[in-house]
Amino acid sequence: MNTTQRLMQEAKSALGIESDYALAKALEMSRQAISHYRTGRSQLDVEGAFRIAEVLGKDPAAIIAAVEAERATKPEAREAWIQRLKQLGGVAASVVFVMFGALPAPADAAGAQHEDDAAVLPYSVIFRS
């Protein structure tokens, strides 16, 4: 489950709803947008991040940083977003994000001393205030 999907699930729980249709109505988004988020076809945009942040009572900047960290294709960009998220950690209520192996292949990873050093396993990071 990626960051956008996890945030959508949290929003559904917070709102006490079960269907994506009801979530689309609650967030004032199209059913198609919710479907694209659910299938991983697209990720949450800034407007959607603000809407979900409002529902969850979280800092929109932390949600945006979590989504952008996952979206980043370059390790340097990902690390910059993660650092921003850590800075917001004291302010953010509780942002959960999951990142799944978007780092370059071991042969492409700069500075990797062993192939295993560049391998990425799915992991979660939880920041609480």
What are the pLDDT digits (tens) for 74-121?
999 999 999 998 888 744 434 434 333 333 333 344 444 444 333 332
The number of residues making up the chain comes to 129
Closest CA to 121 of 97, 98, 100: 100
Residue 60 — pLDDT band, cuts 50, 70, 90?
A: very high
Between helix 20-27 and helix 31-39 the angle, nearest 10°, is: 120
Asked if residue 91 lies in contact with residue 68, where contact means CB atoms within 8 angstroms, the answer is no
Q: What is the structure's pLDDT at 1? A: 75
Q: Which two tokens stand for residue 50?
A: 């603000």
Residue 28 — pLDDT band, cuts 50, 70, 90?
A: very high
Q: What is the structure's pLDDT at 74? A: 95
Q: What is the structure's pLDDT at 50? A: 94
Residue 63, pLDDT above cutoff 80: yes
Q: Which two tokens stand for residue 110?
A: 């700069």
Residue 71, pLDDT above cutoff 50: yes
Q: Give the residue-averaged pLDDT of 62-73.
A: 91
What are the pLDDT digits (tens) for 13-23?
999 999 999 99
